Structure 1
């Protein structure tokens, strides 16, 4: 990976809709060179995909919630059951396994407090893999969807 590849990745990270002509003008390469480099970056897995970033509030999900989860038991099957649960829940935006006193931190979007309560009390807590849940409501988002430092 050279400076041209890094510049292409940086530009696409900011705006994935850039055409090869747009890229070529900004990186000072020919459109065909940009096309070949972009294709190689995709094939090598540096670019995992392209997607539209939707406005969460306009889509009806103004609440962002950070939920800490402790599992009932610590074994592979229980962790797999919990991961399977999360994979089926579209309101879960991110989920991370952690070291320390809690096992997972989960970012969830909901339309309102009632929906959050139903999610925690009706989905997470009754699940066989979950022992304890701690919820925090995000008051203000200072940075979101930050790109990688290319």
Structure 2
């Protein structure tokens, strides 16, 4: 789907406030409500807008610790990559997981309540996976920047 300037304005506005009424969105992007709603629905159907969520402050819900984990697999065959991805995808502690280039095969961000919770995650889940050659964990001291807003502009 090719995005024009109005689509980009709609996406920028929705990223800032996904609960905005169609009327408010239409006014903000310079459309009448019907064409605005039609464009939003097209963006949703095309998969450009995947869904709407509430952004929850992780510290406020008792998950103040972020850990970045670099993982190297013993082999990088397609079936090994697929098996690893299928194993970690349902784990709720894993907020993000990326297949990487370079020294490590995967980089993931995990959230936990504290160090003992991370130790349980490591011992009961991650280290039980077959085919892992190494795991390196780095604890975030502070979050300098976080955004869910893509620079569509």
TM over 0.5: yes
Are 1:118 and 2:120 counterparts?
yes
Normalised by the length of structure 1, the TM-score is 0.95
- Residue 144 of structure 2 aligns with which residue? 142
Runs of 4+ aligned residues of structure 1 deviating over 4 Å after TM superposition are none
Work out whether residues 125 and 132 of structure 1, in 8 Å CA contact, stay in contact via their aligned partners in 2.
no
Q: In 2, Cα distance between the equivalents of 1:73 and 1:6?
A: 42
C-alpha deviations, 1:98-134, integer Å up to 9, x for none?
Answer: 1111100010000000111121233112211212100
Work out whether residues 81 and 129 of structure 1, in 8 Å CA contact, stay in contact via their aligned partners in 2.
no
Work out whether residues 15 and 148 of structure 2, in 8 Å CA contact, stay in contact via their aligned partners in 1.
no
> Structure 2, unaligned stretches of length 5 or more?
none
C-alpha deviations, 1:57-106, integer Å up to 9, x for none?
Answer: 11110000000001122211211111111112000000001111110001
Normalised by the length of structure 2, the TM-score is 0.93
Aligned ranges for residues 1-150 of structure 1 at < 5 Å? 1-150=3-152
Corresponding residue pairs, total: 150
> Structure 1, unaligned stretches of length 5 or more?
none
Work out whether residues 79 and 129 of structure 1, in 8 Å CA contact, stay in contact via their aligned partners in 2.
no
In the TM superposition, residue 28 of structure 1 has moved relative to its aligned partner by 1.6
Work out whether residues 91 and 108 of structure 1, in 8 Å CA contact, stay in contact via their aligned partners in 2.
yes
Work out whether residues 67 and 108 of structure 1, in 8 Å CA contact, stay in contact via their aligned partners in 2.
yes
C-alpha deviations, 1:18-60, integer Å up to 9, x for none?
Answer: 1110111111211111111111111122111111111211111
State the Cα RMSD in Å: 1.1
